[in-house]
Structure 1
Amino acid sequence: MDNSLPCNLVSFNCKSIKRSIDNVRHLCQLADIIALQETWLFPHDIQFLSGIDGRFGSTGTSAIDTAAGVVYGRPYGGVALLWNKSVFPNVSVVDCENPRICAIKIVLSDRSILVFSVYMPTDKMINLTEFTDCLSS
């Protein structure tokens, strides 16, 4: 018996999901799971993800710290996952403490699958501590 499930997974560094929304909507026509990096969403904008395509569930994180009140410069970071709800009806969001990581658990009839979207710091030595902290979270 073949228990395989054909699935198209795409990873896309969107460099602002609001500016690349047409590209992301096109990916929704092609893929079952979409991992996004550099969404550049503020914490209060995460719900924007749920309006991209009604057929898709969503989760995401913001890397923008708004605690100080005023944010200078352009937004940065943020990751998200979109999944086709008709292909994967049994999905739960996995809590991740690091804003560079988001994850979902997909439950199939005979197994579970974890899917991550991760945006790691660059490979320069100055980022080594942040890189290892991210891996350990």
Structure 2
Amino acid sequence: MNNTQTVKVVSFHCKKVIRSLDCVRRICRTADVVALQETWLLPHDISFLGSLDDDFAYTSVSAVDTPAGLLRGRLYGGVALLWRKNLLTSVSVIARSSVRLAAIKIVVKEKSFLIVSVSTNSSENIPEFTECLSEVSTIIESTGVESVYILGEFNAHPGVCLL
């Protein structure tokens, strides 16, 4: 008896999800989890992700701060995670403070794993890059999962000294 289940995960740097709509929908036809970076959605536009594919639930973070009525923050940016609702029935959205990451915890057949979608840039802002990595580390430590998948756009350069 086979006691395993395969979950197909795809990451896509979409450079404005509305512009990449056809490609995201094609990815949804074959993937179970889709990690998106650079969605370029304003906070009030995040619900748009619910119209991409009826089989998918979502969580997303906008990089734009709009409480004062003026557009502030990273106008480019934003991350999202979409997951197939009928296959992945035990999904928890993980609280985070960074606008550069979205995370979900998935439990399948008593096995738990974390999926994180990240968009950050080390060369432009080292403190923000370090803060994002610290938050990812904190999320991993606090969730008690067996496996972690960190997907996205790190724009990091391993081996290059950041100091």
Partner of 2:154: none
Partner of 2:51: 51
Partner of 1:135: 133
Please give the per-residue CA displacement for 1:47-93, whole angstroms capped at 9, x wherever unaligned: 11111100001000000111342238x93100000111111011111
Runs of 4+ in 1 over 4 A off after TM superposition: none
Partner of 1:41: 41
- Corresponding letter in the other structure for 2:8: N
- Identity rate, percent: 50
Q: Which moved more, 1:108-117 or 1:26-35?
A: 108-117
How many pairs align? 134
Query: Structure 2 CA distance, aligned partners of 1:32 and 1:55?
Result: 10
Q: Which moved more, 1:28-37 or 1:83-92?
A: 83-92
Q: CA RMSD in A?
A: 1.6
Query: Structure 2 CA distance, aligned partners of 1:18 and 1:104?
Result: 23
Query: Structure 1 CA distance, aligned partners of 2:113 and 2:66?
Result: 33
Alignment of 1:1-137 (within 5 A): 2-71=2-71, 75-121=75-121, 123-124=122-123, 126-137=124-135
Please give the per-residue CA displacement for 1:15-37, whole angstroms capped at 9, x wherever unaligned: 00011111100100111110000
Please give the per-residue CA displacement for 1:89-137, whole angstroms capped at 9, x wherever unaligned: 111111111010101111122211111101011x32x521111111112
Gaps of at least 5 residues in structure 1 are none
Please give the TM-score of this superposition, normalised by the length of structure 1: 0.90
Q: Give the match's secondary structure for 1:132.
A: helix
Query: Structure 2 CA distance, aligned partners of 1:99 and 1:71?
Result: 15
- Corresponding letter in the other structure for 2:33: I
- Corresponding letter in the other structure for 1:62: S
Query: Structure 1 CA distance, aligned partners of 2:67 and 2:59?
Result: 22
